Structure 1
Amino acid sequence: MDTTLATSLYPRRPGRRPNFPAEFKRQVVEATLQPGASVSIIAREHDVNANLVFRWRQQYQDGMFGPVSHAAKLLPVQVIETPAEIPAAVFPQIDSVAEIVIEVAKAKLRIIGAPDPQTVQIILQQLLR
């Protein structure tokens, strides 16, 4: 395993804080922005404190290490029409007492019992307008 630590690249002088180059900071930050990356593990790999890396991430977002790379990955989306009538099989009849609480902005709706599915659908459509 060939890993080089930050201390070997940027030796620390006694009594002084290390002054890492912006390109090094950018490299560390971009490594933490990869999916599934752990800031603490990457910080340990580069022999820096995780809190320092979090500060660098904020500075990176502010553009202090050059232009920010916004390589956003978009997911495919497919818009489908919803059926006007919902089949009764989708909503099985429940014998027990149930309670539904819907909160939208300052409105709060509480339904106790087993409401008609079409009624709930109409209420939700009106609330979410």
Structure 2
Amino acid sequence: MDTILDIAPARRSGRRPNFPSAFKRKVVEASYQPGASVSMIAREHDVNANMVFRWRQQYQDGAFGPVSLSATLLPVEVIKTPIDLPSAAPPPQKSHSEIVIEVGKATLRITSSPDPQTLQLTLQQLLR
């Protein structure tokens, strides 16, 4: 059976409506339902959507009593299964690097891991 809160109070022409807190709370809580549209809820209750947004802020501030923080919990099942972890990864092999620089007729080939300072000095001399 529908209660009196399902329908917005009748408006008197020329005056701003003064909705009861219980009505505002009901509209706001309906707007927080999963999949609910504030616009649709506002139309269903014959109020402006901007008003519902304002009521939602007031609701969060506690203007209509304590905020209902009901959360929907999903069922969880814990299953104990052995976890097969791969054995320790083999250490990375030393990479063999090679740098080849060609400037004019000169070719410089550096293999292995060159010292950064030596490499910088060599590049500076080649690019002069």
Instruction: Give the TM interval when normalised to the shorter protein.
Output: 0.5 to 0.7
Provide Cα deviations, 1:65-108, integer angstroms capped at 9, x if missing partner.
0111111112345587864329xxxxxxxxxxxxxxxxxxxxxx
Given the superposition, is the C-alpha separation of residues 52 and 79 from structure 1 closer, same or farther in structure 2, using an over 3 Å criterion? Answer: farther
Structure with higher Rg: it is 2
Give me the whole-angstrom Cα distance separating, in 2, the residues matched to 1:49 and 1:43: 6
Provide Cα deviations, 1:36-80, integer angstroms capped at 9, x if missing partner.
111111100111110110110111111100111111112345587
1:34 is aligned with what amino acid? Q
> What is the TM-score with the length of structure 1 in the denominator?
0.53
Question: Is the 1:10–1:20 contact (alpha carbons within 8 Å) kept by the matching residues of 2?
Answer: no
Given the superposition, is the C-alpha separation of residues 75 and 56 from structure 1 closer, same or farther in structure 2, using an over 3 Å criterion? Answer: same
In the alignment, structure 1 segments of 5+ residues that lack a partner are 87-129
Give me the whole-angstrom Cα distance separating, in 1, the residues matched to 2:49 and 2:84: 51
Given the superposition, is the C-alpha separation of residues 83 and 30 from structure 1 closer, same or farther in structure 2, using an over 3 Å criterion? Answer: same
Alignment of structure 1 residues 18-29 onto 2, 5 Å: 18-29=17-28
1:35 CA displacement? 1.4
Q: Secondary structure at the match of 1:41?
A: helix
Higher RCO (Cα < 8 Å, 6 or more apart): 1
The total of aligned residue pairs comes to 81
RMSD over aligned Cα, in angstroms?
2.6
Residue in 1 that maps onto 2:13: 13
Provide Cα deviations, 1:107-126, integer angstroms capped at 9, x if missing partner.
xxxxxxxxxxxxxxxxxxxx
